[in-house]
Structure 1
């Protein structure tokens, strides 16, 4: 569900050794903008036709379609995290863009720095944990779709081993890895997950190499938390199964692609734009899941048996209804230490600080 996580953010900041932010009311109120509202989008990778950035750009296009001549949108793609991001975000603000969406985790500090210099501009940052009076943050409960995808992976695997190509060991990514293996083990208690870290959000060459490495290690279902379609393509070439991420990637692996954990930003972007136009926008932290339509599964490959599809649909509804939590106890880490007992579930605050592997993952989490 959509929740405001201000108290959770304080805990996450403390866990990361970061100073708490100034109170959100410290800056001046955001004025009602003149129209057309100029909106900037900052993308970490090429838009392409699938992946993280592609999904955000669908949101941008939805804004244009919904608001017509009330808005003007502009984007810059393939912006690296750090100094380049600060330059692009600052350029948007300096050139009269009254709303800027910064769509990558590593844009967090550059966004906050620019926001201090432009207190009457609205900034929205994806997947971060620091707010300000004119900086809101938003993310999706990717782990909910990951859990469902893990069920499919375990049901379709003949080796009992899946492979996961991951970008950076931050809580968002670790949550997805753990949820995936939890889904696997809900239907196959002996299932295993092997992980290769590529230290990049978008590097098709590294992603492909990692996929081939996992295939050589007996993984017959591959998935990823990276931006390109390389993993799905590698699985198609090797005659393996794959589960895409961000977008439906089935056209890149018609035989391999079982489904994908997909993201949907259109509704959120439309709401933010409407709030800014109305002069009612306030800094908040949105975390939406299956119930909110911010995550979902792509259509299942016909090769997935009907009983498996029915089971996944049932579990999806249970998550939506609040009857199933992917991190319900008993929950043990990979060393056998009990994290929570039966009858309890990890809280949002605990999820936001997740820095360990759960049972079923081979190898150690990088520090």
Structure 2
């Protein structure tokens, strides 16, 4: 009798384990991705696509993606198609998806919607935000250190980007005599506007520029290289565009963030609302330093970054603002 009870208990226990495993894998069985431009843009879109592929590899999930998803109508159609394929996790790779995801969420209760840099307000919506202030601070320090004219510039997409103020504060901390010029394109991808602003900065004797827009930073860096000037890379490690031009880069590892989201989802730990991530989460880092930056300054910067990871304190003794 005892043996029979033990056998029944063992079967029940194993079935329970099997049920738990099946539940988790089902939650990450099919994943969809929407990008506003293309997955082969080499910067932001590519990072989202790599994140999708990481989930595919780590969870053996079926993945789907759609490019050029810029307006509400196309987004709604794409989500409806994903739903028909039983997709349960949808990433909208940008801030433009947050509001429409909020509006759609009630119609698709089996989908968890994830966007970036927006305001997620529903129980099955989450918005991810990189805390950009600190990376901007370290980028600004590097720019001010290397500038020979003591004039550095920023070409940003929008005035809400925390990395812009971080860059300004970091440059001023490194050298209080540094003059800063900040220009805005009001669009992530407007290369024409960015290059026009670059011409103005160059005419003002700016010799280091931070192109804080993923859709135009490559064009700006290429022109700076032609002029023998310098850049701080943005979103990706852009040292491959010219290691004597790109002093360092402020890198956002969106692909790693996708893995974090997937892991939290399968473990029932993915919160709704707005979530922030920084250096200590392993999703922000500084890129490779140019050989024109002295080794002792590179070592100093690496110590500052590690101290920030350990204590949350920037080199000025303050905590990151955002």
When the two structures are superposed, what TM-score results if normalisation uses the length of structure 1? 0.74
CA deviation after TM superposition for structure 1 residue 220, in Å: 0.5
CA deviation after TM superposition for structure 1 residue 240, in Å: 0.5
**Greater RCO structure (CA 8 Å; 6+ sep):** 1
Q: Greater Rg, structure 1 or structure 2?
A: 2
CA RMSD of aligned residues (A): 2.4
Counterpart-to-counterpart distance in 2, 1:78 and 1:149: 31
Residue of structure 2 equivalent to 1:295: 284
1:230/1:132 CA distance change after superposition, 3 Å: same
Q: Is the 8 A contact 1:328 1:346 kept in 2?
A: no
Residue of structure 2 equivalent to 1:104: 94
Counterpart-to-counterpart distance in 2, 1:109 and 1:36: 23
Counterpart-to-counterpart distance in 1, 2:71 and 2:94: 8
Counterpart among 120, 145, 154 of residue 144 in structure 2? 154
Structure 1 unaligned blocks of 5 or more: 1-30, 330-344, 352-367
CA deviation after TM superposition for structure 1 residue 36, in Å: 6.9
1:72/1:303 CA distance change after superposition, 3 Å: same
Residue of structure 1 equivalent to 2:49: 57
Secondary structure of 2:276's counterpart equals strand
Deviations 1:177-227 (A, max 9, x none): 110011111110021221221121112333223222222221111112211
Structure 2 unaligned blocks of 5 or more: 1-22
CA deviation after TM superposition for structure 1 residue 91, in Å: 3.5
1:99/1:35 CA distance change after superposition, 3 Å: closer
Secondary structure of 2:311's counterpart equals coil
Counterpart-to-counterpart distance in 2, 1:106 and 1:326: 34
Counterpart-to-counterpart distance in 2, 1:303 and 1:233: 18
Counterpart-to-counterpart distance in 2, 1:58 and 1:315: 29
Counterpart among 236, 240, 243 of residue 247 in structure 1? 236
Deviations 1:15-55 (A, max 9, x none): xxxxxxxxxxxxxxxx8674771111111222335322222
1:244/1:158 CA distance change after superposition, 3 Å: same
**Matched residues, number:** 298
In the TM superposition, what are the counterparts of 1:1-367 in structure 2 within 5 Å? 34=26, 37-48=29-40, 50-68=42-60, 71-170=61-160, 173=161, 175-228=162-215, 229-277=218-266, 281-322=270-311, 324-325=313-314, 351=322
Q: Is the 8 A contact 1:223 1:231 kept in 2?
A: no
Counterpart-to-counterpart distance in 2, 1:43 and 1:89: 12
The range that moved more, 81-90 or 59-68, is 81-90
Secondary structure of 2:52's counterpart equals helix
Specify which structure has the higher proportion of helix. Answer: 2
Deviations 1:163-186 (A, max 9, x none): 11111223xx1x211100111111
CA deviation after TM superposition for structure 1 residue 156, in Å: 0.7
1:322/1:277 CA distance change after superposition, 3 Å: closer
Q: Is the 8 A contact 1:151 1:184 kept in 2?
A: yes
